Amino acid sequence: MNEILMCVASSGIFFGAMALRGIFGYLKNKKISLDDVKFDWKKFLTGSIKPVLLTLSIGALAALIIAFLTLVDSSGIEVQGLEQISVHNLLLGLFIADIGSIGYALKEGLIAFGLSEKQILQIRETASNGETGLSIGIDSEGNIIASPETVTPKSDKELLKEDGVDVDDGEEVKVDEEPGKGAAWVNTYPEPYRSRPKDSLIDPSTCYSRECVSYCAWKICEVTGSWPKRTGDMNAKSWVYRLPSWGYNKVSAPQNGGCYVGVLTSGKYGHVVWFEGGNTISEYNYNSAGNYTVRNINLGQYQWFQVKAAPAPSPTPTPTSFKVGDNVTLINCVDYYGNKLAKTRDYYTISEIRGNRAVLKSGNVVYAAVNTSNLKIYNGSSKPNNSPKIGDRVLTSATKDRSGVNLNLKIINDGQSVWNSTDGKGYAILVKGKTIRCAVPASSLRKA
């Protein structure tokens, strides 16, 4: 009787673990978001109800075996070979099944409850609006990764051949992978994407690393200063829609000196390339999977789109010259060498000028040295309202000091903190008596 109860208990553990696996799988999909990853009830039922039915079948089979063994034992009938079948062997099998089912449940649970907001965002961005599915797993370093099913270890050339597309591959040009060795074309694709395995990283455009689309997204970034944003399916052939959505016009043919992306719409996924001049293009993932190549090709096979940088904003008119004593404001809060500054007041006074280098003072304290092209005359009041100055008792809204240490504002803002000096980079040194309390952005101060 005890053995029967143990069999029933083992079956129950297996049943419960497999049911939890199905529930965790549902929660995982729910957490990722039903809007971005198309939720399929059929897949959910296959993933949760199917294991439950399998468990019930195993439990029913175990019950039949136990009933058969009990019946034979009570009847006194001897059955040849029956001695090799025992409840102990059945229990051992159920124990092994329990371990496997608990492992499955734990894996689903860890994924369901271990997804960070960053990982969820990554999964959302890689999910396709079309037929592309999404596979979620854990890499060798324990990171949760999401991969579209369209990601393959094959090159675009191999995929085109499989689709029966007859493409003129042109002629590959020998290139230098490293700068400074005299090659005509140098691969500028950035790290960390360039040195990591194909499809192991996702770039800021949500394209997988060392794919043709990731490379062309980077080339666009080189021209415009920013990676293009995902606006739908990012497979290469869909770029005939993506590029116009980013504001790039279709042209009949690329012209030397311009920046162009070529789109091949043949095959299931297509291919994109970057125009280098003449009939030469650069690309990733064509002749060999995940690698950089330069080829001379028939440009007429591709549809071409011109990439133009956004027009630079008109600069704010500034005086052609300044003099010592002028009250000025900064156009951009950076010093002469481009280091970021914290704004401490509405205006500063020029105390010294040497060429294009002006030294600014805040009251009687040197604030920073800046480029005169970064200045404009201050036209407001010379007495800013409630602006604290060195020597004032002050309060701060900053929560961290210059070193990134969290501040206890109950102590710092007790009304005893005095602005003693600045460090030349916009940070105010606060003291109490002769004790330095902290260094915080001067822009965060107000009079106590």
The rounded distance, in Å, linking the Cα atoms of 275 and 316 is 35
CA–CA distances in Å: residue 414 to residues 253, 384, 398, 435, 437: 69, 24, 14, 15, 12
Looking at residue 160, its pLDDT comes to 84
Q: Average model confidence (pLDDT) for the chain?
A: 75
Residues 301, 324, single domain; the answer is no
The rounded distance, in Å, linking the Cα atoms of 81 and 68 is 14
Tokens of 20: 């939890």
Number of structural domains the chain divides into = 4
Residue 25 has pLDDT above 50, yes or no: yes
Residue 264 has pLDDT above 90, yes or no: yes
Residues 44, 121, single domain; the answer is yes
Q: Is 383 exposed, middle or buried (0-12, 13-18, 19+ CB in 10 A)?
A: exposed
The rounded distance, in Å, linking the Cα atoms of 437 and 207 is 47
Q: Band of the pLDDT at 139, cuts 50, 70, 90?
A: very low
Residues 243, 379, single domain; the answer is no
Is residue 389 one of the residues assigned to a domain?
A: no
Of the two residues 51 and 390, the one the predictor is more confident about is 390
Span 172-203, pLDDT tens digits: 887 655 443 334 567 889 988 988 888 888 88
Q: Which of 147, 167, 188 corresponds to the end of one domain?
A: 147
Residues 301, 180, single domain; the answer is yes
Looking at residue 182, its pLDDT comes to 38
Span 393-423, pLDDT tens digits: 888 888 888 878 788 888 888 878 888 888 7
Residues 8, 141, single domain; the answer is yes
Span 199-256, pLDDT tens digits: 888 888 888 899 999 999 999 998 888 899 876 667 888 899 889 989 999 999 999 9
* Structural domain range at position 419: 394-447
Q: Which of 346, 363, 384 corresponds to the end of one domain?
A: 384
Looking at residue 387, its pLDDT comes to 73
User: What pTM was computed for the model?
Assistant: 0.42
Residues 107, 215, single domain; the answer is no
Q: Which of 93, 115, 147 corresponds to the end of one domain?
A: 147
Looking at residue 282, its pLDDT comes to 93
CA–CA distances in Å: residue 403 to residues 304, 399, 427, 446, 447: 50, 11, 11, 21, 23
Looking at residue 53, its pLDDT comes to 67
* Torsion of Cα atoms, 14 then 15 then 16 then 19, to 10°: 120
| CATH number of domain containing 327 | 2.30.30
Percent of the chain with pLDDT over 90: 13
